Structure 1
Amino acid sequence: MARKPNLTNDDAPALTDAELSEMRPAREVLTADEFAAITSVRKGARGRPVAANPKVPVTIRLDPEIVEAFKATGSGWQTRMNDVLRKAARDLPSAA
């Protein structure tokens, strides 16, 4: 994922030392209710949501023509391969 570019606003001058020295933490200048309201807003969780049945990462060596055939089906080829393997696994005889 590409990083967002640093945005600058040439119309906004840099803060002076005097302005910086006058700054106070939000807790000091807001009422308790205002501060609680802005700090209770939770940022969204990053990344993908946790799956109910997470996939297991594996490394497998396959014949090139198998991989090419699935890739030729376009986006989502890994999911389609998983579906084919799931169906094949259901048809396997149970080990006794």
Structure 2
Amino acid sequence: MTANRKHGAASAPLTDREGDVRELTAADFARQRPTTDFPELVKILQSHGKLGRPPLPEDQRKKRVTLHLDPDVLAALKAQGKGWQTRANAALRRALGL
């Protein structure tokens, strides 16, 4: 059961088949609920002090380094789009047999 139905009011989907978001109406805003209606969520968010993923244990966190790469290597990584640093890390792990 969706949150809207649980509270008695069915609403039109916020997105269409192509994924475009429709304009929100006054009725949409009237159905919104405050964050305090979700105490378990508030507790999680407050425990981390900010939004996002929970922090990893210190021994599992990635370390910031300065690394000099050949221009063509860097261009090839960036040409693949967002996430190039993660892909570079994965390529290094494979090359090192990790």
TM-score, length of structure 1 as denominator length: 0.46
More helix, by proportion: 2
- Higher gyration radius (CA): 1
